[in-house]
Amino acid sequence: MTPFRPDSISNAMNDASYRDAIFSTPLDRVASFSFDEQVVACFPDMIRRSVPGYGQILGMLGVIAARHLRHGAHVYDLGCSLGAVGLALAGRLSPEAFTLTGVDLSPAMVERARTTFAQECPHHAIEVVEGDIRHFNYRASGMIVLNFTLQFLAPSDRDAVIEKLYEALEPGGVLVLSEKIVAADEEENAWLVERYHDFKRANGYSELEISQKRTALENVLIPDTLEAHHARLARAGFPRSQTWFQYLNFASLIAFKN
């Protein structure tokens, strides 16, 4: 059996990644952040250096799937980017154990995710669809993952998406929701954000990179509180949800459908 390396990210993705230097030089006008070709080229490096716990969450998603998925069930990875969630599941589960659909709005992401799956796990039934998770026709599934994706939707669109996902889940199904979060308490939040910036500095980002990225993400990545996430899951119908992971202002929740 493959050894469990909780903080591992597929080498396949890292090998083809450039170092993220997008905000390293002064920009006259910092454009809004978008998932274009420039971001795709350095995305594995960017996400690993800017999302605390990213590798650990991926490793654990395979463990959660192994525990909660009925044999042969369908999985959705929404906002799949380069397919890290599918790779993590394929690394722990046999091809017969599940089928997976990755959905992403960015054509550049979708194209590279398809190539990666074809090369890395040709025997697993994994497809990647270019589409908007707000207007997608979901089939019945056993597990749905939103790994740092809901945060990029307009807050007014979030309830409807979570409601649709609740409807798509089979009884016993699980939704895993990983998000950048904000703390309701101002002092607590300030401490988390300061330490998050320290985390980025420790990972080699400069003051300029940190501040320009912050500007680029304004009105693009809008974090909710953990309380707001749990309340939304409850409103959508989930009888139970819990926070299973938090590292600074990044967290992952799991919601269960009876």
Ligand X SMILES: O=C(O)C(=O)Cc1ccccc1
* Residue ranges in contact with ligand GEK by CB under 6 A: 35, 47, 79-81, 84-85, 103-106, 109, 132-134, 147-149, 152-153
Cα gap 200→46, rounded to integer Å: 10
- Cα distances (angstroms) measured from residue 66 to each of 63, 87, 88, 91, 114: 5, 14, 11, 11, 23
Distance of CA 64 to the CA centre of its chain: 15
Q: Which of 21, 183, 217, 228 binds ligand X (CB under 6 A)?
A: 217
Quote helix, strand, coil % in the chain, to nearest 5.
45, 20, 35
The least distance separating ligand X from the CB of residue 96, rounded to whole angstroms, comes to: 33
Residue nearest to ligand GEK (CB): 79
Nearest to ligand GEK of 14, 24 (CB atom): 14
- Identify the burial level of 99 via C-beta atoms within 10 angstroms of its C-beta, where 0-12 means exposed, 13-18 middle and 19 or more buried: middle
Select from ligand GEK, ligand X, none the partner in contact with residue 149, using the beta carbon and a kind-dependent cut-off of 5 to 8 Å: ligand GEK
50 to 89: interface string for ligand X, x by CB under 6 A: xx--------------------------------------
* Residue 84 contact partner, candidates ligand X, ligand GEK, none, CB within 5 to 8 A by sort of partner: ligand GEK
Sign of CA dihedral 19, 92, 177, 138: positive
> Which of 51, 69 has the CB closer to ligand X?
51
Q: Which of the ranges 44-52, 96-104, 153-161, 187-195 carries the binding residues for ligand X, by CB under 6 A?
A: 44-52
| Paired strand residues for 134 | none
Residues that bind ligand X (CB under 6 A): 46-47, 50-51, 180, 213, 217, 221
